[in-house]
Structure 1
Amino acid sequence: MADYTTILDGLEVAMRLGIHPHEAAPQRVRLSVWMTVDYADPPSADAIDEVLDYDFLRDGILAMAAGPGFALQETLVEAIAALCLADPRVRQVRVRSLKPDVYPDAAVGCEIVRTR
């Protein structure tokens, strides 16, 4: 068995995320995802069909950002984790969200780890 960590780091999207009236408009959200992926063997043919193509993750997050939004960062990161774990090769996922513009002196965020 071979395991790898596939990373999508620092994807910035504009989305509705929050409970306050001023958060009804899309705001900047930075997302990072680390997926531990199990393969029967290390890739040998240097071909994408041997590994997890991370395009599904970016496309899925962009679709979420274009949707109605989320009240809580906790709900957002759970939805992203579920997207990742829908692929049976993903054994564990770590998802981090940050809202960098909430305060002038700090970003606020949420991070979870989910394991199959």
Structure 2
Amino acid sequence: MAAALLHPRLADCRKLFLRNYEVFINIGVHEFEKRGEQRVIINVELFVPLANSTPVDDKLREVLDYDFMRSTIADRMNQGHVHLQETLCDDISKTMLAHPLVRAVRVSTEKPDAYPDCDAVGVEVFRIKEESA
């Protein structure tokens, strides 16, 4: 995954991030998981071209607001139960990548309470927009 971050189309980008965002969501395929919420840690990295994110007047309207990351996650959580972390990552990354300022996105989710003998189990996805013709 780290090699993807060396992609030449990201060289002129600024990275915005949301780290270790802890949410409680109804997620899982097992019956016991469907009866309640689980703690999930979400990490997001957005890559935005410097040309579209370098403020001149020090105004929020000149950049991508961090609230976009949190609201995208909240919107997905409000859609109800999700079986797989893969689906959750894909849904979040697809919505974030659709933003006109975002060139690439990396999203990871982890369930820290899934097993007692490890820190967490999780999924990560990286997506980059196709170049415009």
For Structure 1 versus Structure 2, the TM-score category normalised by the shorter chain is over 0.9
Query: Following the alignment from structure 2 to structure 1, what is the Cα–Cα distance between the partners of residues 114 and 84?
Result: 14
Please report the RMSD computed on the Cα atoms of aligned residues, expressed in angstroms: 1.6
Q: Would you tell me which structure has more helix in proportion to its own residues? A: 2
Aligned to 1:26: 37
Contact 1:13 1:62 in 2 (8 A): no
Between structures 1 and 2, the one with greater strand share: 1
Could you report, residue by residue, the CA deviation over 1:1-36 in whole angstroms, capped at 9, with x for unpaired residues?
A: 952101011111110111011111110000000000
1:5 maps to what in 2? Answer: 15
Q: Is the 8 A contact 1:15 1:69 kept in 2?
A: yes
Superposed CA deviations along residues 44-96 of structure 1, whole A, max 9, x for unmatched, are 21111000012122012123223312111110000110121121111110000
Aligned to 1:110: 123
Aligned length: 116
| Aligned mate of 2:105, from 93, 97, 112 | 93
Identity among equivalent positions (%) equals 41
Which amino acid in structure 1 is aligned with residue 16 of structure 2?
T
How high is the TM-score relative to the length of structure 1? 0.92
Shift of 1:105: 1.8
Taking structure 2 as the reference length, the TM-score comes to 0.81
